[in-house]
Amino acid sequence: MLRTSHRIALIPGDGIGIPVLEAAMTVAEAAAPGLLEPTGFPWSCEHYLQTGRMMPEDGIETLRGFDAIFLGAVGWPAKVPDAVSLHGLLLPIRKAFVQYANIRPHRLLPGVEGPLRKDGFDILCIRENTEGEYSGAGGRVHQGTGDEVAVETAIFTRTGVERILRFGFEQAMGRRRKLASVTKSNAQKYSMVFWDEVTRDLALEFPEVEVSHYHVDAIAARMVMAPETLDVVVASNLFGDILTDLGAAIQGGLGFAASANIDPTRKGPSMFEPVHGSAPDIADQGIANPIAAIWSLVMMLDHLGEPAVAARIMAAVEATTARGIGTVPGRDSTDQITAAVLAALEE
Amino acid sequence: MLRTSHRIALIPGDGIGIPVLEAAMTVAEAAAPGLLEPTGFPWSCEHYLQTGRMMPEDGIETLRGFDAIFLGAVGWPAKVPDAVSLHGLLLPIRKAFVQYANIRPHRLLPGVEGPLRKDGFDILCIRENTEGEYSGAGGRVHQGTGDEVAVETAIFTRTGVERILRFGFEQAMGRRRKLASVTKSNAQKYSMVFWDEVTRDLALEFPEVEVSHYHVDAIAARMVMAPETLDVVVASNLFGDILTDLGAAIQGGLGFAASANIDPTRKGPSMFEPVHGSAPDIADQGIANPIAAIWSLVMMLDHLGEPAVAARIMAAVEATTARGIGTVPGRDSTDQITAAVLAALEE
Ligand SMILES: CC(C)[C@H](C(=O)O)[C@@H](O)C(=O)O
Ligand SMILES: CC(C)[C@H](C(=O)O)[C@@H](O)C(=O)O
C-alpha cells in the first residue's frame, strides 16, 4: 500500500511538554513507520531567554508549510511571565491559522477512576478559539488609584459564532445528535442573546439534532451531576475554557485531557496539544503522563485522514489503562507508560 | 429575656419559591416564636401578568424599611421572559441595596451522598454581586445580518473589587484563614490583571491569611478533584455564578444550596434566598426540598444577630438529613421534610 507521509511541526515547548511529545512520537513511529515526518522547533521559554522571542519573527510563516502542528506545553512562569509566553506562541498560532474550533473529548478511559461516582459519560466539548471574551479588548483608567476602573470587552461576530456552532452541529450529526449550546443570556443580554439567536437559526438547518440551551452555571453543575446526559457541548472561548477544565477533571485529571485546535476549512495547519501545561514542579521527575499527548496524536492522525492508525493507537492506550498502567497520577513513569502502549500495539 | 423582633420582607415569588418559604417561616416561628415579624409581598410573574410590573414602582422604597428580605424564587419563563422577571425584581434589589457580597456555603450535610467520591470539604464562595461581567454594558450592530457584531463589556471598579476582596479576607479570618482569589489574568489582561493587583494589595493588610491565585478554569477543576483544599473563594460576578452552581452540585444539588446577598455596611436590608429557581416542572408536586430555604433562613438569623437560634435550626436540619430525610431529590415531600425539622427542633 502506498502511503504519503505527513509533515509535522513539532514544538515540545517547556517542562513536561518535552517528554510527553517524545513519547507520543515514539508511539506514532512504532504504529506506522515513516507516516509522520517531523521537524522539531525549540520554541519555548528557554528559547525566549536566549533570543528574546518565543518564536522567530517568521515563525508563523515557517509553520504554514506543515500539514499539522504538534505542541507539548508552553509556559514557565518563574522564568517568563505567562503574558509573554502564551501571547508569544500558543495564542498567536491559534489565531494566525484561524484554528477556530478547540475540541476536547471527555470520557473515562478504561481502568481510570474519576472523582465522580458516575462513570458512563462521553462528552465532546467544542470551544470557540479566536474571539469572544479573550479578544484582548479593554483598558484601564486612574490606574493604581482608588478611582481605578478596568474594562474588558467581549467581542462576538456573526462569522465567529456561526462557524463554531455549525462545526458543533456537524460533529453532533456524527455522534448521538445532541447539542448543548452554552450561554448566560439571562445576565449578558448583548453577546449571549446574540449567541442564542445564532443557535436557533442553525438549528433549523439541522433538524435531526436535538438542541438544548444551557446557562453556563447550570451546565457546569450538570457536568458533575449528570454528565451522561450530554453529548456535544458548544461554548464561547471563556465558557469553553472553564468547561473543558471541568471535563478534564471528571475524566480523571489533566493527564488524560487531549485537544485539537482545528481550522475546519483546512486553509492552514491545525494544532494538537495535551490540555495540561508544562508543570514545572514535576518537570524533572520522569512521571509526566504521556496519555494526553498520545490521545492528541490520535486526534491529529484522524484529522490527517489516517483513521486506521489512529484507532490502533487509541486501542493500545485503552489496553494500557485497562491494565491499570498510567491510571494513577504520578505512580508510573513516562517510560513505563510509553513502553506499555508500545507493547499493546504489538498485540 | 427581652427580645426585639426583626421585620422581614417576605417575597415568596414563583413556583417552588412559595412552599419552601412557607416551610422556612414555619420553622422560624417554632424555633423562636415572634422573633421574626414577616410582611408578605406577592411580587412575582403572576403579579406581572396582572399589573405589568414585577414589583410596584415604589417597591425598593417599601423594602428599605425592613431588617432583611427573604426571597423564595423568581421566574417562570413560559409566562414571562427571564429578562423581564429577573431584571424586574431580583437584580434590582441586589443592586439598589448594594448587596455586594453574594455568599454561598458549600459542604455536604450529614446523610447526603454527593456526586463526588470525596466528602470532606467546606467551602465558602463569595461572589461579587453588583458589577463586573453582569454590568449590562454593551451593544449590537448590523443586527440579524451576516455582519453582526455584539459586544459585552465587563466593568470593574476599585471600589467594587476592593470591598468584595476585603469582605473575603475578613471571612477567611473567621475560618481556616485561606483565601482563593479567582481570575483569568492570562487571557483577560485588563480586568483580571487589575483584580490580581487588588488581591495583592489587600493581602498585605491580612498577613495571617494564606492567599492563592487561581485561574477560573483551574479552580473549577479543583472543586471537583480536591475540594477539601479550598476554604474561602472570592470571585467576580460571572465566575462566582459558575463556581457556586458547581458548589451546589458537589454538595448534592440545588436542594441544599443556600445564599445570602449581603450589604456588609448595613445601610439597607440584606437579602436571603435559596440558590434554586422556581422549578415550574415540579411546582405543583409538593416535593420541593425546603432545606436550601431553611439554611438561607439560618444565614439570615446569623446576620440579624441571632446566632443561638440560627445554630439550633441548623442542628435540626442536620439531624433531619442525618436520618436520611430530605437527602434524595424528589423522594420526601416538602411537608415530610419540614415536619422532620420541626420534630428535631423539639429534641
Ligand atoms: C493557557 C491559556 C491561555 C489557555 C487558554 O485559556 O486558552 C489554556 O487555559 C487552555 O485551555 O488551553
Ligand atoms: C437568575 C440569575 C440572574 C442569577 C444570577 O446569575 O445571579 C442566578 O443564576 C443566581 O446565581 O443567583
Q: What angle do CA A290, A292, A295 make, to 5 degrees?
A: 105
Q: How many CB atoms lie within 10 A of CB B146?
A: 9
- C-alpha cell of A279? 508543570
Euclidean distance between CA atoms A234 and A219, whole angstroms:
11
Please state the length of chain B: 347
Q: From residue A188, how far is each of A238, B95, B151 by CA, in Å?
A: 14, 16, 10
Chain-centre distance for alpha carbon B196:
24
Euclidean distance between CA atoms B72 and B43, whole angstroms:
11
Q: Where in chain B is the domain with CATH 3.40.718.10?
A: 1-105+251-347, 115-242
- In three-state secondary structure terms, A13 is strand
Domain B1-105+251-347 has CATH 3.40.50.720: no
B118 and A CB contact within 8 Å:
yes
What mean pLDDT comes out for the span A165-171? 98
- Cβ A225–B149 below 8 Å, yes or no? no
Q: Which residue of B has its CA nearest to A143?
A: B194
- C-alpha cell of B190? 485588563
Euclidean distance between CA atoms B295 and B105, whole angstroms:
10
Euclidean distance between CA atoms A239 and A243, whole angstroms:
6
- The pLDDT assigned to B261 comes to 98
Q: Where in chain A is the domain with CATH 3.40.718.10?
A: 1-114+261-347, 119-250
**In the predicted model, is pLDDT for residue A235 greater than 90?**
yes
To probe the interface with A, which of B186, B193, B216 has the most A CB atoms within 10 Å?
B186
- The pLDDT assigned to B82 comes to 85
In sequence order, which ranges of B77-157 are alpha helices (DSSP H)? 82-85, 91-96
Beta strands at A101-107 and A258-262: parallel, antiparallel or unpaired: antiparallel
User: For residue range B219-276, what is the model confidence (pLDDT) as tens digits?
Assistant: 999 999 999 999 999 999 999 999 999 999 999 999 999 999 999 999 999 999 999 9
User: For residue range A115-149, what is the model confidence (pLDDT) as tens digits?
Assistant: 999 999 999 999 999 999 999 999 999 998 999 99
Task: Establish how many alpha carbons lie within 13 A of residue A203's alpha carbon, considering only the half-sphere containing its beta carbon.
Answer: 15
- C-alpha cell of A182? 452554552
A158 and B CB contact within 8 Å:
yes
Chain-centre distance for alpha carbon B176:
21
Euclidean distance between CA atoms B250 and A268, whole angstroms:
42
- Cβ B194–A146 below 8 Å, yes or no? no
> Which phi-psi region, left, alpha or beta, contains residue B330 (left: φ > 0; alpha: ψ -120 to 50)?
left
What mean pLDDT comes out for the span B189-215? 97
Q: Which residue of B has its CA nearest to A226?
A: B115
- The pLDDT assigned to B2 comes to 54
Which candidate from A134, A146, A155 shows the least CB-CB separation from B188? A134
Distance B132 CA to ligand 2 centre (A): 14
Q: How confident is the model at residue B4 (pLDDT cuts 50, 70, 90)?
A: confident
- C-alpha cell of B25? 417561616
Q: How many CB atoms lie within 10 A of CB A7?
A: 14
Q: Is the CB of B217 under 6 A from ligand 1?
A: yes
Euclidean distance between CA atoms A295 and A317, whole angstroms:
8
Euclidean distance between CA atoms B23 and B40, whole angstroms:
14
CATH dotted code for A119-250: 3.40.718.10
- Cβ B241–A217 below 8 Å, yes or no? yes
Q: Within chain A, how many helices (H) and strands (E) appear?
A: 12, 12
Q: Is the CB of B285 under 6 A from ligand 1?
A: no
Beta strands at A122-128 and A101-107: parallel, antiparallel or unpaired: antiparallel
- The pLDDT assigned to B3 comes to 63
User: For residue range A241-262, what is the model confidence (pLDDT) as tens digits?
Assistant: 999 999 999 999 999 999 999 9
The alpha-carbon gap from B84 to the nearest alpha carbon of chain A, in Å, equals 9
- B324 CB contacts (<8 Å, ≥6 apart)? B111
What mean pLDDT comes out for the span B30-52? 97
Distance B111 CA to ligand 1 centre (A): 38
Q: How many CB atoms lie within 10 A of CB A256?
A: 27
Pocket (CB within 6 angstroms of ligand 2):
A 186-187, 217; B 86, 241
Q: Is the CB of B186 under 6 A from ligand 1?
A: yes
**In the predicted model, is pLDDT for residue A2 greater than 80?**
no
- Cβ A158–B136 below 8 Å, yes or no? no
Q: Is the CB of A133 under 6 A from ligand 1?
A: no
A248 and B CB contact within 8 Å:
yes
Euclidean distance between CA atoms B9 and B96, whole angstroms:
15
Chain-centre distance for alpha carbon B129:
10
In sequence order, which ranges of chain A are alpha helices (DSSP H)? 17-31, 45-51, 59-64, 82-85, 91-96, 158-173, 191-205, 216-225, 237-250, 291-303, 307-322, 334-346
> Of the candidates B275, B237, B277, which has an alpha carbon nearest to the alpha carbon of residue B95?
B237
> Of the candidates A261, A286, A287, A289, which has an alpha carbon nearest to the alpha carbon of residue A276?
A289
**In the predicted model, is pLDDT for residue B339 greater than 80?**
yes
Q: From residue B3, how far is each of A257, B27, B306, B342, B346 by CA, in Å?
A: 58, 18, 10, 22, 21
Dihedral sign computed on CA atoms, order B19, B271, B248, B110: negative
- The pLDDT assigned to B83 comes to 82
> How many contacts does A have with B, using Cβ atoms within 8 A?
185
- Cβ B246–A250 below 8 Å, yes or no? no
User: For residue range B84-110, what is the model confidence (pLDDT) as tens digits?
Assistant: 999 899 999 999 999 999 999 999 999
For chain A, give the percent of residues with pLDDT over 90. 95
DSSP 8-state assignment for residue B88: I
Could you give the maximum distance between any two Cα atoms of chain A, in Å?
71
- The pLDDT assigned to B12 comes to 98
Q: Which amino acid is at A268?
A: G
Beta bridge partners of A69: A9, A271
**Among the atoms of ligand 2, which is closest to the Cα of residue B241?**
11
Q: Which residues of A touch B145 (CB under 8 A)?
A: 158
Write out the CATH class of domain A1-114+261-347. Answer: alpha beta
CATH dotted code for B115-242: 3.40.718.10
Burial class (CB in 10 A: 0-12, 13-18, 19+), A346: exposed
Which candidate from A117, A194, A218 shows the least CB-CB separation from B148? A194
Q: Which residue of B has its CA nearest to A116?
A: B116
Which candidate from B86, B139, B218 shows the least CB-CB separation from A245? B218
What mean pLDDT comes out for the span A221-243? 98
To probe the interface with A, which of B80, B217, B256, B259 has the most A CB atoms within 10 Å?
B217
User: For residue range A25-71, what is the model confidence (pLDDT) as tens digits?
Assistant: 999 999 999 999 999 999 999 999 999 999 999 999 999 999 999 99
User: For residue range B275-291, what is the model confidence (pLDDT) as tens digits?
Assistant: 999 999 999 999 999 99
A131 and B CB contact within 8 Å:
no
- In three-state secondary structure terms, A261 is strand
- Cβ A190–B86 below 8 Å, yes or no? no
Residue in the block written with cell 445601610: B267
User: For residue range A320-347, what is the model confidence (pLDDT) as tens digits?
Assistant: 999 999 999 999 999 999 999 999 999 8
